[in-house]
Amino acid sequence: MADFEHVFDAPPPGAAADWTIPQGWDAYTAAEHQTWVTLYERQMKILPGFACDQFMRGLDALDLHGGGIPDFAKMNSALNRLTGWTVVAVPGLVPDDVFFDHLANRRFPAGQFIRKPDQLDYIQEPDVFHDVFGHVPMLSDPVFADYMQAYGQGGARALGLGQLQNLARLYWYTVEFGLMQTAEGLRIYGAGIVSSKTESDFSLNDPSPNRLGFDLERVMKTLYRIDDFQQVYFVIDSLDQLLAETQQDFGPIYERLKGADDLPIETVLPTDRVFTRGTQAYAHAGGRFAKSSAA
Ligand code: PHE
Ligand code: CO
């Protein structure tokens, strides 16, 4: 991924060898807490009926309704009791091997800083709002908690095999931008969606993107974009399905993928389970940066 603000080659001054830093909760300013509150209140107007039950229950269970940036120490005592996960503070994005090692040990690295007031709608590097509000509620679900740990273990393996690109797509289309089928209709579980006001609505309701049934190998072949709303979302039947499908050995899949072409982002295959065949109108009009878009 390109152009992030704080990517370090080695742990920056003050960070431990595993790149963690103290959260320093007492040092957040009133204005920084207010940024959290503004973002939080905006999302809570939208998410009931949009986010999956597991996410909404996670907010309750971790008591993330309080006014301001959560104190990780307090949040962690609840999270740890539920699923054995711990949130640790980091200065920004960390190297892949460090990230995978944290996940494999049920530690979720969260950016310590919060975005500036002029970045409420868009920030390229994940901050504490995206990382905590977006990711941590799902970590209170036991099945998702196991999936994330397995992903960390699989990441270390993929790194050794030179297969990170394919595995990263799985993360993107599940952990960040996943949708789930429920008895009440499609719901969001992806952190990149639930922490975004505009994409929460777009992902579920806009006629533009394709919405396709989750297929592990297909997802691992599919290109993605980091600069705008997704053009395709993949829909899981349940978290159990996601965990079960990823518990197979990816070795043979990686072998097949070495000889396979990447799938362009707009592709709909005859074998796809199609929830929505998107018009792609939003992307074709130039997306977020088009004059015609009101985002
Ligand atoms: N089963 C994968 C492997 O064999 C590991 C993995 C699990 C990857 C869950 C991602 C998510 O490499
Ligand atoms: Co994220």
Judge contact between 194 and 129, C-beta under 8 A: no
- The residue contributing the CA closest to ligand 1 atom 10 is 151
Residue 151 in contact with ligand 1 by CB distance below 6 A: yes
Residue ranges, the chain, pLDDT below 70? 1-8, 289-295
Residue to substitute in 246, 248, 255, 257 for testing ligand 1 pocket (most ligand atoms within 8 angstroms of CB): 246
Torsion angle of the four alpha carbons 194, 196, 200, 203, in this order, in degrees rounded to the nearest 10 = -100
For residue 97, count other CB atoms closer than 10 A to its CB. 12
- Pocket lining: 197 vs ligand 1, CB cutoff 6 Å: no
- Could you give the CA distance from residue 219 to residue 211 in angstroms, rounded to a whole number? 12
Distance (angstroms) between ligand 2 centre and the Cα of 177 equals: 9
- Structure token pair of residue 269: 């295959």
Cβ(129) to ligand 1 under 6 A? no
pLDDT at position 289 is 53
Residue 126, judged by CB atoms within 10 A of its CB (0-12, 13-18, 19+), counts as: buried
Ligand 1 in contact with 249 (CB < 6 A)? yes
Strands 274-276 and 210-213: antiparallel
Decide: 157 in ligand 1 pocket, CB within 6 A. Answer: yes
> Rounded to whole angstroms, how far apart are CA atoms 157 and 141?
25
Please say whether the beta carbons of 43 and 129 come within 8 A.
no
Strand ranges across the sheet with 274-276: 185-188, 179-182, 232-236, 210-213, 274-276
What distance in angstroms lies between residue 206's CA and the mean position of ligand 2's atoms? 22
Written as six digits, the tokens of 124 are 């390229």
Is residue 154 in contact with ligand 1, taking CB distance under 6 Å? yes
pLDDT digits over 73-97, tens only?
A: 999 999 999 999 999 999 999 999 9
CA gap 39, 190 in Å, rounded? 17
| Structure letter (DSSP) for residue 228 | S
Output the DSSP codes for 78-102. Answer: HHHHHHS-EEEEESS---HHHHHHH
Give yes or no for a contact between 166 and 252, defined as CB atoms under 8 angstroms apart.
no
Q: How far is the CA of 108 from the centre of ligand 1 (A)?
A: 17
CB distance 156 to ligand 1 below 6 Å: no
Query: Structure pTM?
Result: 0.94
Report how far Cα 239 is from the mean position of its chain's Cα atoms. Answer: 15
Closest C-alpha to ligand 1, atom 5:
154
Predicted pLDDT at 110: 98
Among 153, 166, 239, which is best to mutate for testing ligand 1, by the most ligand atoms less than 8 A from CB?
A: 153
Ligand 1 within 6 A of CB of 246: yes
At 6 the pLDDT is: 53
